[in-house]
Amino acid sequence: CNRNDKQYVGFATLPNQVHRKSVKKGFDFTLMVAGESGLGKSTLVNSLFLTDLYKDRKLLNAEERINQTVEITKHTVDIEEKGVKLKLTIVDTPGFGDAVNNNECWKPITDYIDQQFEQYFRDESGLNRKNILDNRVHCCLYFIPPFGHGLRPVDVEFMKALHEKVNIVPLISKADCLTPNEVKKLKDRVRDEIEHFGIKVYQFPECDSDEEEEFKQMDKELKECTPFAVIGSNTVVEARGQRVRGRLYPWGIVEVENQSHCDFVKLRNMLIRSHMHDLKDVTCDVHYENYRAHCIQEMTSKLAQDNRTDSPLPILPLPTPDVETERLIKMKDEEVQNNHH
Amino acid sequence: MKNLEGYVGFANLPNQVYRKSVKRGFEFTLMVVGESGLGKSTLINSLFLTDLYSKDYPGPSQRIKKTVQVEQSKVLIKEGGVQLTLTIVDTPGFGDAVDNSNCWQPVINYIDSKFEDFLNAESRVNRRQMPDNRVHCCLYFIAPSGHGLKPLDIEFMKRLHDKVNVIPLIAKADTLTPEECQLFKKQIMKEIQEHKIKIYEFPDTEDDEDSKLIRKIKEKMPLAVVGSNVVIEVNGRKVRGRQYPWGVAEVENGEHCDFTVLRNMLIRTHMQDLKDVTNNVHYENYRSKKLAAVTCNGVDATKNKGQLTKSPLAQMEEERREHVMKMKKMETEMEQVFEMKVKEKKQKLKDSEAELERRHEQMKKNLEAQYKELEEKRHQFEEEKANWETQQRILEQQKLDASKTMEKNKKKGKIF
């Protein structure tokens, strides 16, 4: 039965109770950045989170990069703002797309994402679940170079390999080398190609019907602006009497946070201020569940095939020490036998 | 912890969580346990301001049961834009029989079955819709005898404190004067501590104000409550209460009873925490026990309804653990064999040593015996010798004597 109460019971405070608990517990977020070297990924991350995550970074020259394979590096930083704690992990992919032959250069990345899913799956199925660490990748910013005419084959291949594993947010990087018209053309082109190739990038959830009109309008503009064309900067310059993050050119000053210069503010608002939690939820409820379902179905079908219900096959690789101990036992067995005689 | 030079904006995260939770709505399952007539239904109605139990649908007291039943009623209530699906679980018949042994069993079974449902839902492939029907809180009604807990109260709470958040309440508190109530509360808390019953504990908080509040609540435990379905006019105000010839006992008057404390604690401040403790402690305990106890076959054939009762990974984990245990067992067995062999060898050595020792002793004894024999013989020989010598001497003497006599005789001329 459905009743409306005339007097106040008080459970309307439930969301507040949840709010308080979440502040107390703190948050964590894992952001992956992918794209060729030199597209401004590190600078953008620094600009987004106002922290210098890449101090003392050594940049490799072209020769050194010939033999470099795609690596996965992680930087974790604990930041706090207005009493809210955030453990931010940035997963970098140096070497991606840099080689001459970039075939399957996304494989280390998909493997990394799968590993995190697997780890979480194991932890979740274990006996003691008190302190599970959530290292799953919640969002992947993919940097598209502004120099071409749309998506390149490697861009398409990468996004198709990852769109069902992680929330992909494509960005047009170093947008300060494009005029507003060129930006618009490129965005339209990229949007068409994304649709054409069936790439499922992160979709913003629909606005709540009870939101204010202003918010709804903003939301609409946000959606029409994708992919965001961004500029980042590690330096502070003086522009219009203020100190702002920007890039100083002879012909003018590019301000990172100026909405008429680039979409940085939109990206930041979307990524951090309004949709950070949704990115986590989609990762948990969609990508991770897909992975898990796939895993379970594989396991059960193999079990059914082999018809050996008493010894399950280790689909996921068990650590090798088991082989070692087997060998040791065999050795000891022989020893004992020999001593007997 | 790094401090930022500007405003990034993730301080908005809790708000995002807030909005999401409002959108999703909330669920809460409350169980009420206690003998008939203690006012459970009335209290529920008073707490949630809804007539969950009315003349058309009377509370459990009105329904006479021969055995303990567990029944649930669901109601969807809305307030301030927040939706709450409230499930009240009743236990009519509890404690009403002559012999109340095991009357808690149906309750335990119910709670466990809800845990099991959740465990199964969690292990399924499709986990989109996972309703949470686990019991988040159990209000246990203590009769206002004024003396202390009854054996049934202790038995029940001891069996359930590991499965659900137990909040003991003194029912129909308007039969106790403030002093009697104070004493009664003290007695109950003493007995609870003596029997090591773990009732729901309020979480610690860093907020000073909150901790003051919490301390106040703790001092009042167990809460003494009065419920009422009737609204009475007192001094121009309309209040829920019980009209006596001598006055009106007001439900929401803090000086009359602890109803408001209960309501604030249960609903306004700690409802989410009750759910969290159920999820993180009671459910996890159940789950660990369940998973650890399943046989290596993994799928329990008697309970299998066409779905895995345990996730395959847990099964694998089980196998791996068994494997490790098997290895350990083999290791200990081998060590045992080794030890045994060492012992045997040692024993053998000891035996041969003893044997040698024995032989040595034997030989010594033999030697001694021989020596003695020889001594004897020598002794004998000496004796014989001595005898013989003595005899010889006697013979000599005799000879001498004889010759002497002959001489004598010769001299006497007797010889011709």
User: How large is the average pLDDT for residues A262-282?
Assistant: 90
Question: Residue B280: its chain A contacts at CB < 8 A?
Answer: 130
Q: Which residue in B has a C-alpha nearest to residue A81's C-alpha?
A: B11
**Counts of helices then strands in chain B (DSSP H, E):** 10, 10
Pick the most confident of A4-8, A301-305, B169-173.
Answer: B169-173
* Contact assignment for A300 to B312 by CB distance below 8 Å: yes
- Asked if residue A172 has pLDDT above 70, the reply is yes
Name beta bridge partners: A2: B76
Task: Find the largest Cα–Cα distance for chain B.
Answer: 188
Q: What is the pLDDT of residue A2?
A: 34
Q: Residue A340 burial (CB < 10 Å; 0-12/13-18/19+)?
A: exposed
Q: Tell me the pLDDT band of A240, cut-offs 50, 70 and 90.
A: confident
In 3D space, the residue among A129, A45, A119, A26 whose CA is nearest the CA of residue A89 turns out to be: A45
| Chain A contact set for B81 (CB, 8 A) | 12
Q: Work out the average pLDDT over A328-332.
A: 67
Residue A313, classed as helix, strand or coil, is coil
B17 to A277: CB separation less than 8 angstroms, yes or no? yes
Going by the DSSP 8-state scheme, the letter that residue B414 receives in this structure is -
DSSP helix/strand/coil, A267: helix
CA separation for the pair B16, A334 (Å, rounded) = 65
User: How far out from the chain centre does Cα A192 lie?
Assistant: 23
Q: Where are the beta strands (DSSP E) in B157-305?
A: 166-170, 223-224, 231-234, 237-244, 247-250
Q: How far apart are alpha carbons B271 and B269 in whole angstroms?
A: 6
Candidates A227, A252, A220; CA nearest to A239 is A252
Count contacts between A and B (CB, < 8 Å).
Answer: 205
Average pLDDT of the residues in A74-82: 87
Chain A residues with CB under 8 Å of B6 CB are 50
Task: Check residue A83 and give its pLDDT.
Answer: 87
Report whether pLDDT(A138) > 90.
yes
Residue that the structure tokens 């600009």 belong to: A47
Tokens describing residue B92: 């009519």
Q: What's the rounded Cα separation, in Å, for the pair B132 and A24? A: 24
Alpha helices in chain A (DSSP H): 14-25, 41-49, 107-125, 153-162, 180-196, 213-224, 264-268, 276-282, 289-306, 321-340
CA B390, B393, B399, B401 torsion-angle sign: negative
Strands A27-34 and A139-144: parallel
The verdict on A83 touching B (C-beta cutoff 8 Å) is yes
Indicate which of A14, A77, A204, A300 best probes the interface with B, i.e. most B CBs within 10 Å of its own CB. Answer: A14
pLDDT at residue B272 in the model: 92
Compute φ and ψ for A257, nearest 5 degrees.
-95, 15
CB B197 within 8 A of CB B158: yes
Q: Scanning the structure block, which residue is given the tokens 């709010």?
A: A19
Residue-averaged pLDDT of chain A: 81
Residue A97 CB-density burial (10 A; 0-12 exposed, 13-18 middle, 19+ buried): buried
Query: Which residues of chain A from 284 to 323 reach within 8 Å of chain B, CB to CB?
Result: 285, 289, 292-293, 296-297, 299-300, 303, 309-312, 314, 316, 318, 322
pLDDT exceeds 90 at position A244:
no
Residues (pLDDT < 50) of chain B are: 295-309
Please compute, for residue B28, the number of CA atoms within 13 A of its CA located in the half-sphere on the CB side: 26
> Helix, strand or coil for residue B114?
helix
Which residue in B10, B126, B272 has the most chain A C-beta atoms within 10 A of its own C-beta, making it the best mutation to test that interface? Answer: B10
Which letter does DSSP use for residue A251 in this model? T
Please check whether residue B25 is in contact with residue B132, taking contact to mean a CB–CB distance below 8 angstroms.
no
- First-to-last alpha carbon distance for chain B, in angstroms, is 160
Q: Is A274 on the interface with B (CB under 8 A)?
A: yes
What is the number of other CB atoms lying within 10 angstroms of the CB of residue A61? 7
CA distance A197 to chain B (A): 28
Q: What's the gap in Å between the CA of A121 and the closest CA on chain B?
A: 8
DSSP SS3 for B270: coil
Q: What is the DSSP letter of A311?
A: S
pLDDT band at A288 (very low <50, low <70, confident <90, very high): very high
The CA-based angle B408-B409-B412, given to 5 degrees, is 90
Three-state DSSP class for residue B30: strand
Q: Is B129 left (phi over 0), alpha (psi -120 to 50) or beta?
A: beta
CB contact under 8 A, A272 and B5: no
Please give the distance of CA A181 from its chain centroid, rounded to a whole number: 30
Of B1, B21, B334, nearest to A336 by CB-CB distance is B334
Q: State how far the Cα of B339 lies from the Cα of B350, in Å rounded to an integer.
A: 16
Ramachandran area for residue B7 (φ above 0: left; ψ -120 to 50: alpha; else beta): beta
- Name which of A17, A117, A138, A244 to mutate to probe chain B: the one with the most chain B Cβ atoms within 10 A of its Cβ: A17
CB-nearest to B268 from A13, A21, A122 is A13
Q: Which residues pair with B244 in a beta bridge?
A: B247
| Predicted local distance difference test score (pLDDT) of residue B185 | 93
Closest CA in chain B for residue A293: B125
- CA dist B89 and B163 (Å) reads 15
Q: Strand B166-170 to strand B223-224: parallel, antiparallel, or no bridges (unpaired)? A: parallel
pLDDT value at position B165? 95
Which structure tokens are listed for A153?
Answer: 């084959």
Q: Which of B15, B16, B331 to mutate to test the interface with A (most CBs of A within 10 A)?
A: B16
Report the C-alpha gap between A219 and A204 in whole angstroms.
Answer: 9
Q: How many Cα atoms are found within 13 Å in the side-chain-facing hemisphere of B54?
A: 5
Rounded Cα distance, A182 and A188, in Å: 10
Taking the C-alpha atoms of residue A15 and residue A319, their distance in angstroms, rounded to an integer, is 44
